[in-house]
Amino acid sequence: MVVAHELGHILGSQHTHACVWNGNNTALDACPGFTEGNCAASVTAPTAGGTVMSYCHMNKVGINYAQGFGQQPGNLIRSRIAAASCLQACTTTPPPSPPPSGGGSGATCGNVTFTLTLDLFGSETTWEILNPAGVAVDKGGPYVDKTSGQIVQKKLCLPYGCYKLRILDKIGDGICCTYGNGAFKLQDANNIVIAQGGQFTKESLTNFCVQAPGGNNPPPPSGATCTNIDFIKTPPISFGGSQDGGTATVTEAGKALTIKNNAWKAVPISYNITANTYIEFEFRSTLQGEIHGFGFDDDDNISAPYTFQLWGNQTWGITNYRNYEGNSAWKKYTIKVGQFYTGATTRLFFAADMDAAPYTSESQFRNVRIYENTPCPTFQQPETQGAGFGANVLENKPAVVIYPNPTNTNTKAQVNLSAWPAGQHDLEVFDLYGKLIRTQRLNVATYGEHSFDLDTAGLPAGTYLYKVGDEKLKLSGRVVVISGQL
């Protein structure tokens, strides 16, 4: 049953409770108690049982296998197959053998493996690989919702040359880490990772090349993979067990982190450190402790061989960059992590260690970026910058983030606007049926980054959609409200 259901999605059919049927964008049934879209959930359950593409197993009517896919989903699938350009009549002649993968004579393409780990909302995720002409040579998605952790893998043999891997998220919250630990990875024939990630907003674009063994290959394109650490989308967690006794504060719209008073904190990030992995950030401290630094790790234990020390009155860890002047000023660091260790990691950690009373220490980090070989694009300052989160922005594109998300009914969440134009903008909150729940006016005095309170008091626990903007600009997203304390 599950296999048939998923094959139905692959062949183009949506759920029967989706608002896409009957020629008027309504649902065929509402067996799970809700619909997918903005149509009413008042459709009665089919008395003869649901079809393969239904959720009627959640209803007392159940699934009737004799009905197959049903009339409308079945017609849609048959229509998609009939119109497909990639299908042809079967013959008795066997297909030609695939080209060799090793680079012996006659090989014209190189093997790559694309692996995608889905988050909770697979229907938001699509991907494509573009050739130099901008034509998609392969693509996939959207996928099924509520399959967080499911792995999609595809093996390809791409003609030698350079390409772009494009990952899209329809809502704009990436695939990690708010609704699951989604990720993508592209490996060559030797299982060397040539692209990976998961933390982005609407789009992740990675340049890569498939090289012919021993041949002349085109130079790699400019603009390498760049992972920007957003401390709102990936909130810091405790690290080091009993070693962590401090606090963490996120500022500058998620670009900056301050940890204090014997703190060890980490952000979850799956990153395979290669010999060409760099990290770039700014650091400062106004209160010296024993160890101020950072590092990558694959478990929850602090480890000197993985810790880069930047300052402190105790010598510990990798000390090649222990050169902060202690003048409370920001200092930029660019460190080739791959010169010191390589391998798969699951945490990027930060330290403001001070084990002795009165346990006072402080470390501030901002504009943290990780890249391979080619530096990330330079941070640019817009012509007019508002106050609130600092002057540095990576892209002068409007963005909205609600933090914390999920939030709870006892506190006020923050609506953080980045690169936002001046004017009066409305924040609208809807339920999943599209009903407007509440509206809030946001008065933005100047262009830049601003923060407003979102009062969640009185909202029942659940998932809500929101829109922020005016007639010219409107961005949307999702916020989850839970009861009680987080």
pLDDT band at residue 87 using 50, 70 and 90 as cut-offs:
low
Give the pLDDT of residue 145: 87
Residue 267: inside a domain, yes or no?
yes
What's the CATH code of the domain at 181?
2.60.40
Structure tokens at 276: 């060409």
- Whether residue 341 is found in the same domain as residue 438: no
118 in the same domain as 203: yes
Q: Which residues pair with 333 in a beta bridge?
A: 281
Residues 276 and 312 in one domain: yes
**327 falls within a domain:** yes
Q: Residue 384 domain-assigned? A: no
From first CA to last CA, the distance across the chain in angstroms is 37
From 212, 228, 257, the end of a domain falls on 212
Per-residue pLDDT of 12-24, as tens digits, reads: 788 888 888 887 8
Q: Please count the structural domains in the chain.
A: 4
Asked whether residue 366 falls in the same domain as residue 428, the answer is: no
Flag whether 93 is in a domain: no
Task: Answer whether residue 90 is part of any domain.
Answer: no
Domain membership of residue 389 (yes or no) is: no
Shared domain check, 335 and 447: no
Same domain, residue pair 341 and 256 = yes
Same-domain pairing of 174 and 297:
no
Q: Is residue 86 over pLDDT 90?
A: no
- pLDDT of the residue at 9: 82
Q: What's the mean pLDDT in 238-255? A: 88
Query: pLDDT tens-digit profile of 380-426?
Result: 333 333 333 333 333 446 778 787 777 877 767 788 787 788 889 99
pLDDT at 104: 43
Asked if residue 92 is part of any domain, the answer here is no
pLDDT of residue 312: 95
Residues 352 and 251 in one domain: yes
Query: Is the same domain home to 13 and 79?
Result: yes
Q: Residue 29: give the domain boundaries.
A: 1-85
- Assess whether pLDDT exceeds 90 at residue 454: no
**Residue 212 — pLDDT band, cuts 50, 70, 90?**
low
Note whether residue 266 is domain-resident. Answer: yes
Band of pLDDT at residue 256, cut at 50, 70 and 90? very high
Q: What is the pLDDT of residues 148-158, one digit of tens each?
A: 889 999 998 88
Question: In the structure, what pLDDT confidence band is assigned to residue 364 with cuts at 50, 70 and 90?
Answer: very high
Task: Output the domain CATH number for residue 365.
Answer: 2.60.120.260
